């Protein structure tokens, strides 16, 4: 009887250990694939520019993986990958004093400009999310050209075809991210703290250390 009891306890411990490891592993995958940081700025400027904070969080992840120092091949910078000309335009409209491109690496300024620009796109494209996302990725000039082209648009309002594969994929990625951020992080994003970006900075520091180690091997 005692032997059976010990065996049962052992099996129970093993079972719960496996469950805990699965949960920890899932959390590691979640926070690596769908990190979150800078919640205070996301909520603040989403409210200011009448945007969905979960959409902003999704765009940041797709654009930069929450790396505030990210730079694209086209010189777009920071969390929301702001193009140089967009940054200059926004700085003049928003009255950002002594503006220079290095300021785009400041999360607060980057998110402020990114959300302001998104608000402009929503106004330009009559609140049509697909057009806004396409414009954020490919530029509003391209989207307007597509809307005027019968090959891509039948009614002048909705795109039936997005000619750029990168932009088509971009819309899918944003929407997939949105499902996660608006469900898994629902309460977390809406309850920001002043120290909500510590772990995201730690995550990117660890990534940089690993890259350096691999580079030097």
Summarised one tens digit per residue, pLDDT across range 171-210 is: 999 999 999 999 887 766 666 555 566 556 655 555 554 5
Mapping DSSP to helix (H, G, I), strand (E, B) and coil, where does residue 115 land? helix
**pLDDT for the residue numbered 14:** 67
Summarised one tens digit per residue, pLDDT across range 59-68 is: 999 999 999 9
Summarised one tens digit per residue, pLDDT across range 58-116 is: 999 999 999 999 999 999 999 999 999 999 999 999 999 999 999 999 999 999 999 99
pTM of the complete model beyond 0.85: no
Summarised one tens digit per residue, pLDDT across range 113-166 is: 999 999 999 999 999 999 999 999 999 999 999 999 999 998 878 999 999 999
**pLDDT for the residue numbered 217:** 58
**pLDDT for the residue numbered 147:** 96
Q: Does residue 23 have a pLDDT over 50?
A: no
More confident residue, 134 or 13: 134
**pLDDT for the residue numbered 26:** 47
Instruction: Looking at the chain, list the stretches that DSSP marks H as alpha helix, in order from N- to C-terminal side.
Output: 2-33, 39-48, 53-64, 84-94, 107-124, 129-138, 140-147, 165-181, 186-189, 198-215
Closest CA to 69 of 210, 205, 216: 205
Q: Over range 39-68, report the average pLDDT.
A: 96
**pLDDT for the residue numbered 4:** 62
**pLDDT for the residue numbered 104:** 98
Number of CB atoms found within 10 A of residue 152's CB = 16
**Residues acting as catalytic residues:** 63
% of the chain surpassing 90 pLDDT = 64
- Name the DSSP letter for residue 38: -
Residues in the chain: 217
């Amino acid at each position: 009887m005692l032997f059976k009891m010990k065996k049962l306890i052992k099996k129970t411990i093993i079972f719960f250990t496996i469950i805990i490891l699965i949960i920890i592993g899932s959390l590691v995958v979640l926070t690596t694939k769908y990190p979150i940081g800078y919640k205070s700025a996301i909520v603040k400027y989403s409210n200011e520019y009448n945007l969905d904070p979960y959409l902003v969080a999704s765009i940041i992840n797709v654009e930069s993986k929450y790396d505030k120092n990210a730079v694209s091949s086209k010189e777009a910078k920071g969390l929301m990958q702001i193009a140089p000309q967009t940054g200059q335009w926004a700085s003049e409209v928003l009255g950002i004093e002594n503006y220079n491109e290095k300021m785009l690496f400041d999360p607060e300024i980057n998110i402020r400009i990114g959300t302001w620009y998104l608000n402009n796109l929503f106004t330009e494209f009559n609140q049509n999310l697909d057009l806004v996302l396409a414009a954020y990725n490919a530029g509003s000039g391209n989207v307007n050209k597509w809307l005027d082209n019968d090959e891509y648009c039948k009614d002048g309002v909705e795109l039936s075809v997005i000619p750029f594969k990168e932009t088509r994929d971009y819309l899918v990625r944003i929407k997939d991210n949105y499902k996660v951020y608006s469900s898994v992080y629902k309460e977390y994003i809406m309850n920001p703290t002043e120290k909500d970006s510590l772990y995201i900075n730690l995550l990117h520091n660890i990534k940089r250390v690993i890259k350096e180690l691999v580079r030097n091997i």
